[in-house]
Amino acid sequence: MVYEYVPNGTLLDHLQGLNRKPLAWTARLNVAHATAEGLAYLHFSAVPPIYHRDVKSSNILLDDKLNAKVSDFGLSRLAHTDLSHISTCAQGTLGYLDPEYYRNYQLTDKSDVYSFGVVLLELLTSQKAIDFNRPEDDVNLAVYVQRLVEEDKIMDAVDPILKQGASTLELDTMKALGFLAMGCLEQRRQDRPSMKEVAEEIEYIISIAKSKSIPEE
């Protein structure tokens, strides 16, 4: 097999500042969009469809222009278009694993959507999916941010580096991405968007981020 060399390491490396500069907000949005587009292709354009099963920031590689490449298909499964799910033992990475998949062993495209929701939270917060340095109740990033959302404090989760000097418009797009992530993390898979819908929503957020704010009357 021949693999493309991707020189800029993993998304996780950049978010954790491992000898790399922090990613700017626009770069994070572009990574989110490219990853969503890649997963949407696997779910809707590949024949048969492919469920990745291990979507996480360490499996997203960045090239020299910070373009995102989804990698590591070791746990991936081919799907059958005439079946609603694949029955299989739950596999994946702690902190990214769809709780519904873990409970009933029914793998669907929405399992990847859940994992991608965690990646969106990583992009927003620069924090790890599982971190035992956080308080006991906040070890799981998805649970931690969900608590802040319920307290109407979602912006408290955002990486302070991103908020520093950010415009009102940029802050609004950060909040929008946070709420999109929470939609991906809905407990019932039927309530989650598809990866196509996620990609389209991120594209819309990017268009807002690039637009000029309208002066208030």
Give the whole-angstrom CA distance, residue 206 versus residue 31: 11
* Catalytic annotation, pick one of 13, 54, 64, 98: 54
Contact 176, 208 (CB under 8 A): yes
Place of tokens 């009933």: 104
DSSP β-ladder status, 50-51 and 77-78? antiparallel
Neighbour count for residue 108 (Cβ, 10 Å):
21
What's the chain's Rg over C-alpha atoms?
Answer: 17
Residue 156 falls in the annotated catalytic set: no
Residue 80 Cα distances to 50, 69, 77, 86, angstroms = 9, 25, 10, 8
Give the whole-angstrom CA distance, residue 102 versus residue 75: 15
- Tell me which residues are annotated as active site: 54
